Amino acid sequence: MKMPGVNISFSEKAGTVIERGERGIVAMIIKGAVPAKNPFEITAISDIPGTISLKNRNQILNVLKGYVTTPRKLVVYVLPVSAEDYEQATEALEVEKWNYLVATSCETDHETETLATWVGMLREEGKMVKAVLPNCAVNKEYIINYTTEQVVDENGDTYTAEEFCGRIAGIIAGTPLTISCTYAPLPEIVDCSRLKRAEMDTKVAAGELFVYHDGEKVKVARGVTSFTTETEEKKRQFRKIKIVDAMDMITDDIRKTIEDSYIGKYANSYDNKCVLLSAVNNYFGNLSRDGILSEFSVGIDLDANRSYLEGSGIKTADMSEDEIKKADTGDEVFLMANIKILDAIEEVSIPIAI
């Protein structure tokens, strides 16, 4: 026996979900004078405490710039300048709700790897969070590996990779799930580390997110995660920030809804399983109408039901599919779903005949 749970696996053709949850929350770790309330939330410039240094204030403002929209909010934790690790911050943020993590003082490989490992641990526990980290090639779909060495803004201020991760997180958090952050412009940035086309192609293939100057303006390159090694379970889709964001939203939504509205609140009859199926189906329909899904289906997992019955000593060889579908499965519900998440337009081919 263990705690009741909703087990959700997500491969290329599997997922489970329900009511749209909040998205676009950035958790930020900074160093400086520790405020009385720590962590604290920011939804507008006026929420920034007066104790925050000018440098940290600028970091917060960078996140708030967003993209199509601003991030829903920031959850900021301030470490004392003397802190040697992120333990205080991670302990505090572990119980907060957020989607993307940044740490503006993350300067060493050990620091980035420590945070990447912590984010991975949270995901194993069911918290579908991600991080934007500098020069962090960990080959994980939940880590955005930002690698532009330097950018210069319109005021002449320069930002290193670790200092600019907050701006990148703000862009991603402010990107609707119907589009991607690919080619998102940065109007306040006038220059950055220059790259040739072949160099940029190599960086994208290596799972690096970066910004580049197209000759007129600075913009985000292709919106990719650090994931590069495709497997049977995880293929090309896991390389796209947009797709992973949609997967995580779907997983979060259905888990929260099932935990809040179904577990312990319904008898495990076939009729009540159909109530749950209907809720999931309606949720998928909403995502489809919103332009996030192109295809979806959901139903009772006959193979899993059959395995449960056989494991309980019930022979299923002579049972019909309908009987297996309606059979008593104790306190367990086995569903299966197939979905297709719409990607954004990122490559266009137009042969022009003359």
Please write the tens of the pLDDT for every residue from 320-346: 999 999 999 999 999 999 999 999 988
What the block records as the tokens of 123 is 């995901």
Under the phi-then-psi rule, with left for phi > 0, alpha for psi from -120 to 50, and beta for the rest, what region is 63? Answer: alpha
Please write the tens of the pLDDT for every residue from 136-169: 999 999 999 999 999 999 999 999 999 999 999 9
pLDDT at 212 > cutoff 70: yes
**Is residue 195 classed exposed, middle or buried when 0-12, 13-18 and 19+ CB atoms within 10 A define those classes?**
middle
Rounded to the nearest 5 degrees, what angle is found at the Cα of 49, between the Cα atoms of 44 and 50? 125
What pTM, to 2 d.p., does this model score?
0.91
How far apart, in Å, are the Cα atoms of 315 and each of 150, 309, 311, 319?
Answer: 66, 7, 9, 8
pLDDT at 88 > cutoff 90: yes
Q: Which pLDDT belongs to residue 295?
A: 95
**DSSP result, 230-251:** --SSS-GGGGBHHHHHHHHHHH
What the block records as the tokens of 38 is 């720590």
Angle between helical axes of 241-261 and 270-289 (0-180°, round to 10): 150
Task: Report, as an integer, the average pLDDT of 52-59.
Answer: 94
Q: Which pLDDT belongs to residue 7?
A: 61
> CB of 103 within 8 A of CB of 210?
no
CA-to-CA distance for 149 and 73, rounded, in angstroms?
A: 27
Instruction: pLDDT band for 9, please (50, 70, 90 cuts).
Output: very low
Q: Which pLDDT belongs to residue 1?
A: 58
Instruction: pLDDT band for 58, please (50, 70, 90 cuts).
Output: very high
What is the topology classification, in CATH, of domain 25-176+182-220? Ribosomal Protein S8; Chain: A, domain 1 (3.30.1370)
What the block records as the tokens of 101 is 């993590």
How far apart, in Å, are the Cα atoms of 282 and each of 103, 207, 261?
Answer: 38, 35, 15
**Is residue 293 classed exposed, middle or buried when 0-12, 13-18 and 19+ CB atoms within 10 A define those classes?**
buried
Rg (CA), the chain: 23
Task: Report, as an integer, the average pLDDT of 80-100.
Answer: 95
pLDDT at 4 > cutoff 80: no
Q: Which pLDDT belongs to residue 6?
A: 62
pLDDT at 35 > cutoff 80: yes
- 227 compared with 21, residue with greater pLDDT: 227
